[in-house]
Amino acid sequence: MDYRQIPAIFVADAPGLDFLNSVATPVDEEVDWISDGEGLLAWLEQAQLVPGAALEEIRIRSTAAELEDVAARARDLREWFRGFVRKRKGGPLVAKDLREIELLNQLLERDQQHGEIVTNIADGVTSFELRANRRWQSAASLLMPIAEALARLVCEEDFTHVKACEGPRCTLMFADHTRGHARRWCSMAICGNRAKVAAHRKRLREQENR
């Protein structure tokens, strides 16, 4: 299925997990929203990880081959990190896990950011904010906000509450921020309703067989 026919899925409540969910099976066929360079640009825009002006500038300055290359690197990063998360979801991270994400630290070292003091005015009151700005110098810089999202997942989320959807065919993951941490589905509109329909049909069959 063409990724352009359906909007990307953002149900994880954590940008790093939304990146892992950039390949999924929302209906019957697998969709990979970053299957090529244009797909990566579109997904980053939908995820609001890169300003639109920066994406357009990179699109203009980069060759098709450069965009394809960075999309391939993004897919490799996604599948590598998916293995890390799947192995550790449902339990707390421990110190030795740091060795397993050294690749992520190596990627973060290449990031080029600088701080900028900006003002915010609300209700006539001025406040100052230190904002981080990234230098978008090449197509490869598109990997930096992704790496940051993955790093924030590691540092800010409790992996005890990182879960995989219980849908039989679903591959989506999410951070369970609900009270009581009882979330089971990627979305009630997707797998939750499917489960309800399946359970209802099962009850009907059991009643008919009595």
Rounded Cα distance between 26 and 186, Å, is 11
pLDDT attached to residue 153: 97
Domains of the chain: 3-108+138-208 (1.10.3300.10)
Which pLDDT tens digit goes with each residue over 182-202?
999 898 777 856 645 454 355
pLDDT attached to residue 28: 75
Over residues 21-33, the mean pLDDT reads: 88
Which pLDDT tens digit goes with each residue over 104-142?
999 999 999 999 999 999 899 999 999 889 999 899 999
Mapping DSSP onto H, E and C, the string for the chain reads CCHHHCCCCCCCCCHHHHHHCCEECCCCCCEECCCCHHHHHHHHHHHCCCCHHHHHHHHHHCCHHHHHHHHHHHHHHHHHHHHHHHHHCCCCCCHHHHHHHHHHHHHHCCCCEEEEEEEEEECCEEEEEEEEEECCCCHHHHHHHHHHHHHHHHHHCCHHHEEECCCCCCCCEEECCCCCCCCCCCCHHHHHHHHHHHHHHHHHHHHHCC
pLDDT attached to residue 209: 67
pLDDT attached to residue 39: 96
Query: If pLDDT is split at 50, 70 and 90, which confidence band does 4 have?
Result: low
Per cent of the chain over pLDDT 70 is 89
**CB neighbours (10 Å) of residue 60?**
7
Over residues 5-25, the mean pLDDT reads: 93
